[in-house]
Amino acid sequence: MKKLVIIAFILVAALSEATAQTALDALRYSRIYYNGTARFMATGGAFGAVGANFSAISTNPASLGLYRSAEITLSPSFFGSFTTSDYNGYSARDHKLNFALANFGYVYTFNTNRANKQGGLRSFSVAFGMNRQNNFNNRIYIQGPNHTSSLINSFTDILNTPPLINSKEIRYNYPFDIGLAYDCGLIYYDSTQNKYVSDMPNGGVFQDKSIRTWGSINEFDIAFGGNIADRLYFGLTIAIPSVRYYYQSSYWEEDTGDSIPYFQSLQYDYVYETHGTGVNFKMGLIYRPANWIRLGAAIHTPTWYPTMNDYWYSSMSAIYDSALSYPAQYSPSGMYNYEMMTPFRAIGSVAFFVGRYGFISGEYEYVNYNQARFRASLDDFSDVNTTIINNYKAPLNLRLGTEWRIKIFRLRAGFRYNGAPDKNGDFSNRYTASGGFGIYIKRFFVDVAYQWSRSESNLYLYDPTMVNAARITTLTHIATGTFGFRF
């Protein structure tokens, strides 16, 4: 249990060791929300049995088999994230806006001139491009009083765990957090009590934390698909996801009531970034037993990231009631390379068609987040991997969509449900509603989509046994437009 608490503390506050990967990191890069073309997003991403959409090759590569001609798509996207925090009865808000490219793709189709013949391969398509898988742009602001503990208490608890560490070794053993606090005079050794103490052992401080994250997972796809007798469609995608994740936080404590002798305030800043490139393979089928129904199935191999690279550093400063204050103390730069594996996926889908007027589609995705793993040649990740196994699960993930045709216009709507990925309630279900329309004029088309999502999560400022969770509510808004040309 103590090991789990330490992992949770590192998870939500800051990293204090070189091998600082956590269960939360594995979850962050395993959760995929499938962005892409406006048509795909407006229908909730439920395209696994519909096909003929570039972004669908990220879920079911057999989508390529339903193409009849070549196509180029480009999808700019506007993203907005709005967060509300509730911490010890205090509420705070923040937001982040971002403009990005959600998709670009090229599909070329070879027809085999067997349209009037029974059986055989009637067409074969190849495609390459990019689909956005996740967007990490966000801002969170937390504030509220704490009358029971301080961040420094979590540091002194670690230092006072037997065997007692020599003060000369603190900066060497804990260069990114505890060592900085010691150098700022926030921790000192009390020879009477024979332990490390601070000026605020019982809290009494007003706490603030500002968090800013940005980056994305963009997946570059090379796909192949074919059409057999207009009944069976198949496809294969070679996917190369690229991770960019940046994290910056500033944490403050202040004696706003002037009730703590000597201490006035502290500030702890932390910067962290991750880069990595992986690979996975996706295979899929779509079967059309009748003109009014299509059935789809796909499997995605685990994604292997052979070279994940982390970089981080931190700083801390303190101000006291006397004229004495400590300028910012800076940590060294931390760097670490490791491997990561994210889970296997299986997707089943169905679509019902009403002639050429429209369709209703549904999709179920199986993914068990406790299958994620870290590996490194010089380190043992058994503790973190055990935490992943014990804390995460396979939630219910559903996608629903519909599209209706009115002359040159297309009207669309969709819904996504992503179940909570953990067993302890730190994450909620995620609900997503979407809608949009398209205009198709001969070989040119324009699609527009809007997507709204809501989710909640717990964030602990430090050791969860010492501090209440801040409940974070996140609303995201995504507006995407797609410009396409068929030839």
Taking the C-alpha atoms of 57, 59, 62 and 66 in order, what is their torsion angle to the nearest 10 degrees?
-60
What does the angle CA 294 – CA 296 – CA 298 come to, to the nearest 5 degrees? Answer: 170
Q: Could you read off the pLDDT of 173-184 as tens digits, one per residue?
A: 999 999 999 999
**Two tokens, residue 42:** 């407006």
d(CA 79, CA 49): 28
Q: Could you read off the pLDDT of 335-377 as tens digits, one per residue?
A: 999 999 999 999 999 999 999 999 999 999 999 999 999 999 8
Which pLDDT score, from 0 to 100, does residue 254 have? 96
Which pLDDT score, from 0 to 100, does residue 116 have? 63
Cis geometry, peptide bond prior to residue 395 (ω within 30 degrees of 0): no
Q: Which amino acid is at 422?
A: D
Q: Is the pTM of this model over 0.85?
A: yes
Which pLDDT score, from 0 to 100, does residue 3 have? 38
d(CA 443, CA 485): 6
Which pLDDT score, from 0 to 100, does residue 378 have? 78
| Statement: 2-146+200-322+335-486 belongs to CATH 2.40.160.60 | yes
Distance from chain centroid for Cα 392? 15
Of the candidates 153, 39, 74, 20, which has an alpha carbon nearest to the alpha carbon of residue 436?
39
d(CA 465, CA 5): 8
Q: Map tokens 């009944």 to a residue.
A: 231
Of the candidates 54, 74, 58, which has an alpha carbon nearest to the alpha carbon of residue 66?
54
d(CA 46, CA 401): 5
Angle of helix 23-30 versus helix 2-12 axis, rounded to 10: 50
Which stretches of the chain score pLDDT less than 50?
Answer: 1-19
Which pLDDT score, from 0 to 100, does residue 181 have? 96
Of the candidates 149, 253, 259, which has an alpha carbon nearest to the alpha carbon of residue 206?
253
